[in-house]
Every structure is written in C-alpha cells, then in structure tokens.
Amino acid sequence: MDGNVEKLSDDGAFNDRELAHPLLKQMLQALDYLDVQGILHRDLKPANILYRSEGDVYTFKLGDFGFCNMANKATSHVGTPLFEAPELQQHGTQTAALDIWSLFVTMLWTLDIGHFKMAMNPSSVAEHLATIQRCAQHPDVKQICDMVDIDPSLRPSAEALLIRLYNGEGRTLPRPSKKVVKQRGRQGPRPTRAASRRATMDMSFEFTGPLRFDGPARRPQPVMNVRQLRNRRISVRQPIQHDTGPS
C-alpha cells in the first residue's frame, strides 16, 4: 500500500475533489459487506483507510479491524471521539448506522468541507455535533447529509446509498435473510484483536468522472475480494478505548 487517506488528504490530493467518488463508493461497498456479515467496524476514519495508486486510478481499502465486533454483541465504548456517532458516546444501541456516521465525518475531514479540519479541537460534544451538522449543509455533500442524522434509525444503510448514488453497483450479492445474519453473530468465538487488525476489505474500481453525488460519469465494474494484511501497522493515530468492559 502507498499510505493512508489521512496523509493523502494532508498532501492536498483531494483539493480537486476527483477522488471523492472512488473513496466514498469503495467505503460504502466495504460497509455494505460488513453489514451483510453483521459486523461493525467502530473506528472508521481517514487514518484507517489505506490506498494504492496506479497512475490516476486509486484503490482504497478499509483497514484496522481492532475494534470491530458482531452487531448483536457490541456494547463497549471504543473508537476515535471526533469520528464516532453520538449514540456510541451515549452508550446507546450499536448498529451499522454508527459506521455510516463515521464515514460521513471522514468525508468532511478528507475533503475539508466547510474548513472542517479547523474544528478538530471542539470544546464540547455539542459544539462538535453542531459543526458536523453545519458542514453537512455544504452543497458538495448535502445530498448525503442524512448519513449524520442524529437519529440512527433515519440514516440510510450502505446498500441504500449505493442504490441512490451508484445505481446499486457494488452491492454485496446475493444478500442473506436477516435471520441468517443474526445466526452468524452467534457462531464461533470472537476473533482475536491481532487477527482483526490484519483484515482488510479490498474494493476497487476505476473512476475518471467529476465530483457529483448523482452518480459517476462512468459506470465501472467493481472488483471485490477479501485479503489479509500481514505484519503491518495500519493506524497512524491511536484510537481511544474508553473502557475495558465487555465488547
């Protein structure tokens, strides 16, 4: 891999917005796959998204699964405060909607929507939430501002966003019934943190269109598979684990 999105953004690669679509689409594909498996990532942020570039084509991969858990077992408060959903801070029910929130905030930070990076040290949670809601009305992201609805039940799923923005391209198919997904959550022991950190979702496709949230200029065919990242530290910013209670 060539690095992570945090460094890529700091280097100014997203100034022209052309990388917004491959980043958003590939992360939605990753979250859709996790949702089908009944898994929550719980620490989605720019430092945990890796990339590889080949010319003008970028492949983004969601990494660092150290805080992931099955949706029906996740209870502990873990993650990085600036990117975590309000229900996680309030110890509410954890669902796939919390990763949707984190992805939107990741897009705000990466694209520096509304000078979002200047508000990285809020004096309170309320101030931080207000900044997110203000930036969510920016024209570049307003069409997907429901990703940060305060009510998690009103946030769209990754699948719904893929359908809305990309005509459903890249969805995980076939989709199992909800009963099957629940049963998966009960099967087998939770993977060790070391094993989880090595996992990464590999979602790739070519993109050459402008920044538009009504669909890319070209309709590429995604390539989806699962790889193992071995012997590599992924995160450059250490996430915060707020308690040591059961996960």
Could you give the CA distance from residue 44 to residue 189 in angstroms, rounded to a whole number? 23
Q: Which of 104, 48, 33, 40 has its CA nearest to residue 73?
A: 40
In the chain, which ranges are continuous DSSP H helix? Answer: 5-10, 20-37, 86-89, 97-111, 125-135, 158-166, 178-184, 193-197
Is the separation of the CB atoms in 229 and 200 below 8 Å?
yes
Single out the residue of 156, 179, 190, 155 nearest to residue 39, CA to CA. Answer: 190
* DSSP letter string, 18-69: TTHHHHHHHHHHHHHHHHHHTEE----SGGGEEEEEETTEEEEEE---TT-E
Torsion of CA 38, 41, 44, 47, to 10 degrees: -140
| C-alpha–C-alpha distance, residues 242 and 126, integer Å | 19
Known catalytic membership, residue 214:
no
Active-site entry in 32, 43, 64, 202:
43
Residues involved in catalysis: 43
